[in-house]
Amino acid sequence: MLDRIKASLPSLAPAEQRVGKLCLADPREFARLPVTELADRAHVSKPTVVRFCRSVGYDGLADFKLKLAGTVNEGVPFIHRSVDADDKTGDVAVKVIDNTVAAFLKYRNDASAAVIDKAVGKLVEAYSAGRQIQFFGVGNSGIVAQDAQHKFFRLGINSVAYSDGHMQVMSATLLRAGDCVVVISNSGRTRDLMDACDIARKNGATTIVITASGSPLAQVGDIHLCADHPEGFDRYSPMVSRLLHLTIIDILATCVALRIGGGKLQPLLQEMKQNLRSKRYA
């Protein structure tokens, strides 16, 4: 519902936009307040509040507030947006899986192949020139950065991952033209990542950011790979977002591997597998 309101804002009259922005700023408060208070806070008339509700596809204010209350009360805070407190184990499993699948299908339909191709091109250029590819992330995104480094180094690529803010800034300072840094963030608002991304870009490195649309980080990267999902970064534990970021890394690694070509990679991967055999029980 909130996504629908955001998408509708540009097409609304200025007065109705003010009502929409008031709703997006605090949906819970909007659902609770009477129409008079809503009109006062948005600096519009009471009929304008009702018109806004109809403009975004609802029967009126009562219908809008009822649906809005259901939206903002959905899920258990800091656990999962689709799960309710009294759900049985089977219900939890179905909801978590269904929510993840829905987010993946949305990404499949929305992802820009042209932007992904541009990012892959820069990564392959860095590989071909023997330059560095670095991955930055903090918290859960730091774990995704480590997974990315693991995937890329197996391709024979000079790569490293940092999840410490000081190390990111120091490493970004050493980057130069031809290098690539992939910055991963759920919120796109982490100060350390913003600082490191800015330093890397000023030094001439290509900055590829995997984060939410409209975030500050999305604005400063050279190439933005959108990672939009229904999970609020300030309200829910990163589940869908983490899996979506891992999937984007998988897409990049697979495309880079195909560009490098099997002739170079197959012997390397075969030797790696052979050398790992002694590490496993028969």
Indicate if the pLDDT at residue 85 is higher than 60: yes
Find the farthest-apart pair of alpha carbons in the chain and give their distance in angstroms, rounded: 76
Compute the average pLDDT of residues 230-254. 84
> What percent of the chain clears pLDDT 90, i.e. is strictly above it?
60
Q: Is-contact 179 206, C-beta < 8 A? A: yes
Tell me: the pLDDT tens digits for 185-197?
999 999 999 999 9
For each of the domains in the chain, give its residue range(s) and CATH number, in order of start: 2-72 (1.10.10.10), 106-277 (3.40.50.10490)
Indicate if the pLDDT at residue 120 is higher than 80: yes
Indicate if the pLDDT at residue 233 is higher than 90: no
Q: Could you tell me which residues come within 8 angstroms of residue 235 by beta carbon, excluding any fewer than 6 positions away?
A: 77, 78, 81
Compute the average pLDDT of residues 135-147. 96
Compute the average pLDDT of residues 199-227. 95
Indicate if the pLDDT at residue 84 is higher than 70: yes
Q: Which residue has the tokens 């991952």?
A: 161
Rg of the Cα trace of the chain? Answer: 23
> What percent of the chain clears pLDDT 70, i.e. is strictly above it?
93
Compute the average pLDDT of residues 244-262. 95
pLDDT band at 73 (very low <50, low <70, confident <90, very high): low
Tell me: the pLDDT tens digits for 12-22?
999 999 999 99
Indicate if the pLDDT at residue 109 is higher than 80: yes
**pTM > 0.85:** no
Q: What is the pLDDT of residue 75?
A: 53
Q: If you average pLDDT over every residue of the chain, what do you get?
A: 89
Indicate if the pLDDT at residue 32 is higher than 80: yes
Task: Look at the alpha carbons of 13, 188, 209, 229 in this order and tell me if their dihedral is positive or negative.
Answer: negative
Please give the residue that has the higher pLDDT: either 93 or 113. Answer: 113
Give the end-to-end CA distance of the chain in Å, rounded to a whole number. 54
